[in-house]
C-alpha cells in the first residue's frame, strides 16, 4: 500500500481533461492505490469476473479482448502506460471483457468505492472520468471503422500510427518510431486478420518504404505516405488541454 501523491498516474490522467481544484486533488490524494505487478500472459481481469477493480497502468503493455465460443479472439484495444483500464468492469456487476498483460506490468489499483466516493465529493472528477471514458470509446469507434472499412494494409498502417501517436503523448516514442512488444498474433487478433496475412502485409509495407516492424521495434520510414495510406487523422486522439476551467 502506498499513498498517492498529487503526481499519481490517476491525477495526471484526469488533469488532461479538466482543471482540478484543490478539493479535487485532495480527494484524489486520499485514494489508496495498491501497487501491483503482473507478468506477461497474466490476466488482470477476466470476462465474467464479479467486482473487478480498475487499474492505472504505470509500466508495460496490456490488451483487452473478448473470446468467441469457437476460440477466436478479438483484441479491442491495447493499453499503454498512463491508460485507465477496467473502468467498465467496476461499473457493471461483472467484467464484460478480459485484460491480459502483454509484458511485465506495473499498475496501481483504483477501487470502485474510491471512484463513487469521488463523484459525491468532487463533481469535476466525475466529469473528468466521464471524459476519459468517452475518449476510450472514441478509440474503439475508430478501431471499428478501421476493421469495417479498410484493407489489411490500411488497417495495419492505421494501428501502428495510432499506437505511435499515443506513445508519443506519454513520452515513449517519437516521430521515428517506438518499441513494440506485440507479436504478429496480437496484431492479427486486433485487426481481424489471420497471423499469416499479417506476415504478408508487413513486408509489403516495408518494401514500399512506409514502416518497418522487426525485433520489437516499429520504425516509421515515411510517416506522411503512411498516414495517407491509412487515412489517419489524429483528431480523435487530441487532448487539447482541459475543457472545463
Partner DNA sequence: CGATCAGTTGAGAATGGTCAAATTCGGTGG
Partner DNA sequence: CCACCGAATTTGACCATTCTCAACTGATCG
Examine residue 76 and tell whether it contacts its own copies (CB under 8 A): yes
Torsion angle of the four alpha carbons 3, 135, 126, 123, in this order, in degrees rounded to the nearest 10: 110
| Residue 203 engages DNA in binding (rule: CB under 7 A) | yes
If one counts every other C-beta atom within 10 angstroms of the C-beta of residue 42, the result is 15
Q: Which of 16, 58, 111, 133 contacts its own copies by CB under 8 A?
A: 133
> Which of 9, 224, 17 has its CA nearest to residue 132?
17
d(CA 237, CA 215): 27
Task: Report residue 160 as a C-alpha cell.
Answer: 501502428
Cell of 1: 500500500
Q: Is 214 in the site for DNA (CB under 7 A)?
A: yes
SS3 148: helix
Helices (H) and strands (E) in the chain, counts: 9, 12
Q: Is 245 in the site for DNA (CB under 7 A)?
A: no
Strands (E), 112-240: 173-174, 177-179, 211-214, 217-220
User: Does residue 157 contact residue 226 with C-beta atoms inside 8 Å?
Assistant: yes
14 binds its own copies (CB under 8 A): no
197 binds DNA (CB under 7 A): yes
What does 74 bind: its own copies, DNA, none (CB cut-off 5 to 8 Å by kind)?
its own copies
Choose the stretch contacting DNA; rule: CB under 7 A; options: 20-28, 52-60, 90-98, 200-208: 200-208
Surface-to-core class of residue 48, CB atoms within 10 Å of its CB (0-12 exposed, 13-18 middle, 19+ buried) = exposed
Rounded to the nearest 10°, the torsion over CA 168, 206, 231, 235 is 0
By the rule CB under 7 A, 147 interacts with DNA: no
120 near its own copies, rule: CB under 8 A:
yes
Residues 40-79 that bind DNA (CB under 7 A): none
| Distance separating alpha carbons of residues 60 and 181, to the nearest angstrom | 9
Q: How many residues sit close enough to DNA to count as binding (CB under 7 A)?
A: 18
The residue among 139 and 152 lying less far from DNA, judged by its C-beta, is 152
SS3 67: strand
Assess 226 for contact with DNA (CB under 7 A).
Answer: no
Identify the residue among 120, 145, 195, 244 touching DNA (CB under 7 A).
195
Q: Is 30 in the site for its own copies (CB under 8 A)?
A: no
C-beta closer to DNA: residue 128 or 157: 157
List of residues contacting DNA (CB under 7 A): 151-153, 183-185, 192-197, 199-200, 202-203, 214-215
The residues that touch its own copies, with contacts defined as CB under 8 A, are 66, 68-70, 72-74, 76, 87-88, 91-94, 96-97, 116, 119-120, 123-124, 126-127, 129-131, 133-134, 136-138, 140-145, 147-150, 191-192, 231, 235-236, 240, 243-244
Amino acid at each position: 500500500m502506498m499513498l498517492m501523491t498529487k503526481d499519481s498516474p490517476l491525477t495526471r490522467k484526469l488533469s488532461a481533461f479538466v482543471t482540478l481544484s484543490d478539493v479535487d486533488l485532495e480527494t484524489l490524494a486520499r485514494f489508496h492505490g495498491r501497487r501491483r505487478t503482473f507478468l506477461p500472459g497474466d490476466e488482470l481481469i477476466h470476462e465474467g469476473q464479479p467486482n473487478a477493480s480498475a487499474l492505472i497502468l504505470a509500466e508495460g503493455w496490456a490488451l483487452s479482448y473478448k473470446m468467441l465460443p469457437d476460440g477466436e479472439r478479438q483484441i479491442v484495444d491495447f493499453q499503454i502506460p498512463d491508460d485507465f483500464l477496467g473502468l467498465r468492469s467496476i461499473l457493471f456487476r461483472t467484467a464484460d471483457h478480459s485484460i491480459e498483460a502483454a509484458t511485465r506490468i506495473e499498475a496501481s489499483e483504483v477501487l470502485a468505492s474510491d471512484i463513487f466516493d469521488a463523484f459525491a465529493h468532487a463533481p469535476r472528477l466525475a466529469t473528468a472520468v466521464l471524459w476519459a471514458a468517452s475518449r476510450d470509446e472514441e478509440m474503439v469507434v475508430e478501431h471499428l471503422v478501421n476493421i469495417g472499412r479498410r484493407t489489411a494494409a490500411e488497417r495495419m498502417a492505421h494501428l501502428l500510427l495510432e499506437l505511435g501517436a499515443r506513445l508519443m503523448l506519454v513520452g515513449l516514442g517519437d516521430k521515428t518510431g517506438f518499441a513494440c512488444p506485440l507479436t504478429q498474433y496480437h496484431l492479427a487478433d486486433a485487426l481481424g486478420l489471420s497471423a499469416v496475412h499479417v506476415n504478408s502485409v508487413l513486408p509489403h509495407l516495408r518494401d514500399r518504404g512506409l514502416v518497418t516492424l522487426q525485433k520489437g521495434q516499429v520504425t516509421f520510414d515515411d510517416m506522411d505516405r503512411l498516414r495517407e495510406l491509412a487515412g489517419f487523422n489524429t483528431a480523435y486522439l487530441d487532448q487539447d488541454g482541459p475543457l472545463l476551467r
